[in-house]
Amino acid sequence: MAQTGTKRKSRPSDGSTAGSPAKKSKTQTARKSTGGKAPRRPSNAAPASQEDVPPKKGRRYRPGTLALREVRKYQKSTELLLRKLPFSRLVREIAQDMTTTTNGDYDLRWQSSALVALQEATEAFLVHLFEDANLCALHAKRVTIMQRDIQLARRIRGAWGGVS
């Protein structure tokens, strides 16, 4: 047989024809991250800031639980509950108002121990008053102290407030 002018082209070993480009299908497989840089965020995403993150809320207790805890805390403690400087200013102001101009306009001096003694007596008086007012509120089948409870406690105590 005679061969005509057509030549046969040899086939590559990968099975593709010489006239067509090699087409390989790429399949992506999930790979475990081995560290490195984190993937970049899209540019249209809002940046995370402190304002975006809501603050963590504290634990909510049932009504009255924290009040009872405060009562126990202050009953155990012995420190003064009123702040010293505001109390000192109040005492000095009242004393200044009580001094008369006939005695002369002079400045009073206070020993720190005198101010501490006055503060101790004041806090003892107030604690006793609130105890009596609490009893008045309980007598009225309430747990909330009202102004009328304090007024009743002061009226029952008398002019000197239970101080003899």
pLDDT of 137 reads: 97
* Under 8 Å between Cβ of 104 and 129: no
Tens of pLDDT, residue by residue over 111-161, are: 999 999 999 999 999 999 999 999 999 999 999 999 999 999 999 998 787
Q: What residue spans define the domains of the chain?
A: 112-164
SS (HEC) of the chain: CCCCCCCCCCCCCCCCCCCCCCCCCCCCCCCCCCCCCCCCCCCCCCCCCCCCCCCCCCCCCCCCHHHHHHHHHHHHCCCCCCCHHHHHHHHHHHHHHHCCHHHCCCCCCCCHHHHHHHHHHHHHHHHHHHHHHHHHHHHCCCCCCCHHHHHHHHHHHCCCCCCC
pLDDT at residue 16 tops 70? no
pLDDT at residue 5 tops 90? no
Tens of pLDDT, residue by residue over 70-98, are: 999 999 999 999 999 999 999 999 998 88
CATH class of segment(s) 112-164: mainly alpha
Does the pTM surpass 0.85? The reply is no
Which residues are CB-neighbours of 144 under 8 A, at least 6 positions away? 137
* Under 8 Å between Cβ of 88 and 115: yes
pLDDT of 142 reads: 96
pLDDT of 11 reads: 60
Tens of pLDDT, residue by residue over 21-67, are: 566 666 777 666 666 777 676 767 665 666 677 788 888 999 889 98
